[in-house]
Amino acid sequence: MLATAALTVQAQDYGKVQLFIAQKKWDDAIKEVDRLATDKKGSTNLETIAWKATVYSEIANDPTLLSKYPDALSKSYAAIAELRQKDPSNKIIKEGALRAVSIVYANNFNDGRKLFEEKKWDEALTKFTIAEDLGDFISKNGFSPNKQNIDTFAVLFAGYAAQNAQKPDIACKYYEKFADEKIAGKEFEDLYRYMIEHYSKATDKAKFEKYLAVAKELYPKQKAMWEEYEMDAKIKGASPTEVAAIYKAEAAKGTLTPEQHAFYGGTLAEFDKEALSKLDSLGRIDIKRTSSDAFKKAFEGSNNGLYAYNAAILMYQIFGEMDERFYALRGADKNLVAKRAELEKTMQVVANETIEWFEKAYTILKDKSDRTRTETSCLSKSIDDLTNLFD
């Protein structure tokens, strides 16, 4: 006997529906329940709506019948949604429509999985959205023996489908539910990264800070990565001079790690020509000097040869800027001659400092037995650059 038998039969109104269901006469059951639903009195009756949810869910659960009534699943879900709205106590659902809820949930979830595997992201998202809604309803109302606040799988798949469908706002809506439960695991780390990156781009400071804090708590081994997100947020949209000022203020506190010094050094070094074109020659030199100093600090705390190499390259670029200034001062005028002489002294100091840091990079990298491709490349370039400087 189906669980729907718990629904009462009043004045024989639902006797026929119940009989047709028991006899599996689904065409007749649909006609009867649709007749009741269109009746002025029956259309607003909660039991009528429950029977409609039941009949259409049973049809949706049979592939043969579903091919004949392809909208059965959506009609059952619509009836369940109407019941939830009109009966906040869920008394009618609890007494006779729970099976309908379970069927609609399971079929939408399974359909969603199939569409997901076919990479039909939007269609999969539609199915998972319904599955997650009903899964949440089941969980929050204690209709499942598994005591949990969310339907983990439905939430995850809804989020993944939305992410793949390029709908980050929707994806993060589901990922938030996951994060609010503080569910961790190596396989979920990218989920937290995606959410943090999205809220950083969206400049949603409150959510960025909230879920960054959760990520730090759940994945303490990724401390450096989370700190990089944090620092990146501090300098988001800042000009080269503003980033340099932020770095100098942070460095003055004496609390930055080698990785954090390197982060600022890299950020300053990566500003493009357009951003730097707004500065004069001295301004560009100051940015490169600050970037080089940041890498020097990073090297001092880590003995990382790549940091030394980056510091040297930036000093070499400063030398190049000065060389252009030197050329611009050409002429026989006494003032120009004096300025060239003064600049030449400074260039010699910069050249010596550049050589010093290339040599540090070379010394560290040549003695490293397990060099990466990048380290091997930097070692080779260090030799070339030193040769040029000594010529």
> How do residues 221-258 score in pLDDT, each as one tens digit?
999 899 989 998 989 889 999 999 999 999 999 999 99
Chain mean pLDDT for the chain: 91
> Tokens at residue 334, please?
């006494």
Q: Provide the pLDDT for residue 330.
A: 82
Is-contact 162 150, C-beta < 8 A? no
Average pLDDT of the residues in 27-50:
82
Placement of tokens 């930055």 in the chain:
256
Q: Provide the pLDDT for residue 42.
A: 56
Burial of 298 (0-12, 13-18, 19+ CB in 10 A): buried
**Reported confidence tier of residue 3, pLDDT bands at 50, 70, 90:** very low
Nearest CA-CA partner of 242 in 203, 200, 293, 286: 286
Examine the pLDDT at 137 and tell me if it is beyond 90: yes
Compute the chain's Rg from CA coordinates. Answer: 34
Count the helix, strand and coil residues of the chain and give each as a percent rounded to the nearest 5.
80, 0, 20
Placement of tokens 């659902």 in the chain:
93
**Reported confidence tier of residue 12, pLDDT bands at 50, 70, 90:** very low
Q: Provide the pLDDT for residue 4.
A: 45
Examine the pLDDT at 159 and tell me if it is beyond 60: yes
Q: Provide the pLDDT for residue 44.
A: 65
Residues 6+ apart with CB under 8 A from 103: 57, 58, 60, 61, 76
Q: What letter would DSSP give residue 62?
A: S
Burial of 249 (0-12, 13-18, 19+ CB in 10 A): exposed
Examine the pLDDT at 177 and tell me if it is beyond 90: yes
> Distance from CA of residue 243 to its chain's centroid?
25
- As a dihedral over the C-alpha atoms of residue 365, residue 370, residue 372, residue 377, rounded to 10 degrees, the angle is 40
Please, what CATH class does the domain formed by 3-181 belong to?
mainly alpha
**Reported confidence tier of residue 40, pLDDT bands at 50, 70, 90:** low
Q: Provide the pLDDT for residue 267.
A: 95
Domain regions of the chain by residue span: 3-181, 281-390
The pTM (predicted TM-score) of the whole model is 0.76
Pairwise CA distance, residues 16 & 38, whole Å: 16
Q: Provide the pLDDT for residue 295.
A: 97
